[in-house]
Amino acid sequence: MITLYYCINRLPQLSLEEFQSYWLDTHGPIAARIAGVRRYVQNHALSPAGPPPFDGVTQLYWDSLEDFRGAKGTPEVKAALKDDRNFIDLTRMSVFLAEPRLEFDRSPEVEGIKAIWLLKRRQGLSDSEFDRLWTAMRAPLADRVPQAVRHVRSRTVGGVEGLPVEFDGVAELWFKSADAMNEVFMSPGGYAMLGGGADYVDLASSRFLMAAEKVVVS
């Protein structure tokens, strides 16, 4: 499985509500027609403690990198890219490909509140060391965070159309409600425990947001 991540911000003339409404109701059906897409998720940013780093994160899933490449240049992709200009600030976005790995799933049908970490590895750290330290940090989460119902880690495998790759991985943690998420983050050391540490993550270059997950294609 391969995932295309689109970390996006709205055009300045749009409110967050207008942006998210257009994204879901107008753009969603357009992007859903792209060839080979097995799953399409929109993550609508929540901002309980200030503006999020992105207004949303799109995830498009294909069975393989070859299937993703096969969709490029099709009329459906061209239509989706054309519509991007109607609501996305194309000067403030991050796009990359990643391979997802399911760590645990206690509630397969959940479509709730999600914590998303966009991780940049610490400068000077090799890919293998980053993977080792990240795995060691994330492995115990199932036991340490009983409020979480699902956990996926996605490792970046490349960029798109020559665009710079800003992040080395994505961690996603699902909760059934905002209250359940806040219970974790408000606990002593909760945010630091979930977000990782400076031993393998460049905290200044990494990003975090809370989002409401909208599954367009399942």
Is 178 a residue whose pLDDT tops 90? no
Q: Specify the range with the lowest mean pLDDT, choosing from 76-80, 139-143, 213-217.
A: 139-143
Is 139 a residue whose pLDDT tops 80? no
pLDDT band of residue 69 (cuts 50, 70, 90) is very high
Dump pLDDT digits (tens) for 10-22.
Answer: 999 999 999 999 9
The model carries a pTM of 0.92
SS3 at position 183: helix
Dump pLDDT digits (tens) for 27-49.
Answer: 999 999 999 999 999 999 997 65
Of 66, 206, 29, nearest to 42 by C-alpha is 29
Q: Where are the domains of the chain?
A: 2-217
Per CATH, the number for 2-217 is 3.30.70.100
Quote the percentage of the chain above a pLDDT of 90: 64
- How many angstroms separate the CA atoms of 71 and 161, rounded? 14
* pLDDT value of position 189: 58
* pLDDT value of position 165: 93
